[in-house]
């Protein structure tokens, strides 16, 4: 259970995506522990977390392997700078969203 201080901090954080003013309530792993320099997490609003997670999943499936550190940072900056558009939703997205 998060402390009252942690809850206040979470509520005051806004999504870092350009033009988004929603509360950043979801942690996104830019890098996991097995990546060089990982783990790195940043907070996003639920909608933008869904966008980047789906976009990265689509890219990983297309290349049939995990994304590199460089690719994961590319997607992060594409998102927060406002260049990422809402990715399509596929039947494969249900695997991680349920």
**What value does the mean pLDDT take over residues 75-83?**
95
Q: Which residues pair with 11 in a beta bridge?
A: none
- pLDDT bin (cut points 50, 70, 90) of residue 84 is very high
Q: Which domain holds residue 84?
A: 4-97
Q: Looking at the chain, list the stretches that DSSP marks H as alpha helix, in order from N- to C-terminal side.
A: 4-12, 46-63, 69-80, 94-97
Q: What is the mean pLDDT of the chain?
A: 85
User: Given a cut of 70, is residue 72 above it in pLDDT?
Assistant: yes
Q: pLDDT tens-digit profile of 14-47?
A: 999 999 999 999 999 999 988 888 899 999 999 9
11 pLDDT higher than 60 = no
Domain tally, the chain: 1
Question: How much is the average pLDDT of 75-97?
Answer: 80
Question: φ and ψ at 57, to 5 degrees?
Answer: -65, -40
- 44 CB-side CA count, 13 A: 20
């Amino acid at each position: 259970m998060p402390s009252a201080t942690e809850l206040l901090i979470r509520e005051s954080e806004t999504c870092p995506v350009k033009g988004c003013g929603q509360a950043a309530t979801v942690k996104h792993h830019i890098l996991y522990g097995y990546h060089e320099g990982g783990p790195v997490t940043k907070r996003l609003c639920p909608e933008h977390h869904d966008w980047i997670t789906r976009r990265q999943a689509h890219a990983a499936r297309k290349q049939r392997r995990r994304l590199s550190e460089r690719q994961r940072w590319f997607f992060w900056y594409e998102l927060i700078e406002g260049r990422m558009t809402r990715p399509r939703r596929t039947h494969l997205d249900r695997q991680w969203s349920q």
